[in-house]
Structure 1
């Protein structure tokens, strides 16, 4: 991603200006002492409301920023969130890369602490590392139920963009339930990630693995990537994505307890596939290369050589589109697979497995 400058916190002030006329309209209009009194009250209410919101920001920053750390790997620098009082820190898999040891800096100290990898889980672009020594005063973050996150909620993004530790940006939740696929050649894991939280809060290199936080001082997601402008190739301003907190907890709890992930919550067909093209060299489906014994595709009768062209009502033209369609579904869900075999179009019912 290409860095963009930090923006001023102007969104809240604009919102307050829009709200004031609606509030004053309820009290009537006109001239005289009452009208002047109403105008005076309104003018006083605007800075008071702005101060209230500013105080909310300060409270959230004071509560959460001590739980956000900077992580330095051999070839990358990112952020992390303190997960428990035993020194576990959750971050992105693309932050830790192939490393097994790291240097961690907390918000209240410039002293670097050593940490080791517990497990990286690239399929969901999450990882857990653990401090070799837990410093005094290290506070775990509180994680929200991301199912309660709604479009329009005010959020703060905390992390180390461009190496600037303990930085904070603000925005709103722009959308929920997004499915995005990371690039594999630009530092990402290449994973397809479902149910992502989209935010207008600035997400820059170094923010990865940090915290997206609501005004209740709860982490609602882990900032992971920003959209790229398909024309310019630069990061698209105000379009960032975070792994939802409920997914983070599901994966991190398993890593902390067992050192592995046994229940991913990610739907799968149990196949290896590749993209095929038609006679005009246009992507035309996902060809099955290998079928896992006992997997969903095996149980449905799919076999190598079949070309998948649809999952439920979703057209499938590439392996990526198949991965995105699966990311939007749940293990155990029943759907249909449309495919071609020996030139004939077929449809079969399938119960999705787990990746």
Structure 2
């Protein structure tokens, strides 16, 4: 029986036990209707009602403020979302939304008219891209972007986009965690990027939400929803309530460079400046990353690493695959020094490497 059904059985078994406890409480007089129990406080009930009404009003205000800045993007045969970045018609989205396309159909919230847009640049290494409307429609509303340093676990957030093609959809949740490093699959058009410092949220993130807006109750975009977790034990189906958004600080860094220069000129992403491949041990288990090529005068080359060396560790972090190598470097910065453990002709050695840049 799979895990889901096992958990279902546990839930069902708990119900009779809970019912039994309630019956015991009644026998002991804890909830005896004839006892002198205090009456409900009407002021408390009214306060709760007002609080719920205030929260609902906050939601509606945020939706009114931000939803006009969230667009639907049609890229070939795929559909995603985007956020209006400025009054010049620039729209930020995910690189995996634009894919290999260069022209797009964009539905803006200012009307049902479909606008044409053109790719400015895509940066798959961070799964971000910027497109630009060919004609800026009257009333186009840029979003207000927040501050990553002010994002905290427990904050209420709304996710806005076009999940499953349902444009202008909104889901709600909280910031569940910060600083997550997540690797994206290449399957289904993914970029394969490893992205650090992502915002984890319980707001539902479904196909089509990619590139949309994760918004706080101050009507500020704090992230770009990008990935939803999957549960391998459930046949790779979506894991409800576990989604990830690229933090707004990285969104602004990448978008500003693309808009200014047509490309990313300073990635801020550390690299060894090598091409590698995953190798396996005698039990056919991933055991490290073999260097296939080493960029001349790059980080690894300057540290004495050679083609054929097998990297097994970055600092204290084990490296068994290309993905784990990317994850080990994801939170580092160019110019930072790290210790690389590697095998050469079966013998283990270490090297101090000053990291380069992607």
Which one of the candidate residues 212, 233, 238 is aligned to 1:235?
A: 238
Q: Is this contact kept in 2: 1:107–1:165, CA < 8 A?
A: no
Secondary structure (helix, strand or coil) at the match of 1:155 reads strand
TM-superposed deviation, 1:227: 0.6
Mapped to 2, the partners of 1:260 and 1:245 lie a distance apart of 18
**What per-residue deviation string (whole Å, max 9, x for no partner) do you get for residues 10-47 of structure 1?**
xxxxxxxxxxxxxxxxxxxxx99xx87x9222111001
| Counterpart check, 1:115 vs 2:117 | yes
Runs of 4+ with deviation above 2 angstroms = none
Mapped to 1, the partners of 2:200 and 2:124 lie a distance apart of 20
**Matched residue, 1:53:** 55
| Counterpart check, 1:143 vs 2:145 | yes
| Counterpart check, 1:354 vs 2:357 | yes
Larger Rg: 2
Which one of the candidate residues 342, 346, 353 is aligned to 1:343?
A: 346
Secondary structure (helix, strand or coil) at the match of 2:67 reads helix
**Matched residue, 1:90:** 92
Which one of the candidate residues 158, 161, 164 is aligned to 1:159?
A: 161
Secondary structure (helix, strand or coil) at the match of 1:231 reads helix
TM-score normalised over the length of structure 1: 0.89
Mapped to 2, the partners of 1:162 and 1:109 lie a distance apart of 20
**Matched residue, 1:279:** 282
Secondary structure (helix, strand or coil) at the match of 1:47 reads helix
Q: Is this contact kept in 1: 2:199–2:247, CA < 8 A?
A: yes
| Counterpart check, 1:75 vs 2:77 | yes
TM-superposed deviation, 1:252: 0.4
Unaligned segments of structure 1, at least 5 residues? 1-30
Unaligned segments of structure 2, at least 5 residues? 1-35
**What per-residue deviation string (whole Å, max 9, x for no partner) do you get for residues 255-311 of structure 1?**
000001111111111100000111111111000111112211111111111100000
Mapped to 1, the partners of 2:217 and 2:335 lie a distance apart of 35
TM-superposed deviation, 1:148: 2.0
Mapped to 2, the partners of 1:313 and 1:100 lie a distance apart of 42
**What per-residue deviation string (whole Å, max 9, x for no partner) do you get for residues 100-127 of structure 1?**
1111001231110000000011111111
TM-score normalised over the length of structure 2: 0.88
**Matched residue, 1:249:** 252
TM-superposed deviation, 1:168: 0.2
Mapped to 2, the partners of 1:336 and 1:80 lie a distance apart of 40
TM-superposed deviation, 1:147: 2.4
RMSD across aligned positions (CA): 1.3
Mapped to 1, the partners of 2:63 and 2:280 lie a distance apart of 51
Which one of the candidate residues 254, 265, 268 is aligned to 1:265?
A: 268
**Matched residue, 1:197:** 199
**Matched residue, 2:222:** 220
**Matched residue, 1:318:** 321
Q: Is this contact kept in 2: 1:210–1:223, CA < 8 A?
A: yes
| Aligned residue pair count | 322
**Matched residue, 1:178:** 180
TM-superposed deviation, 1:344: 1.0
**Matched residue, 1:12:** none
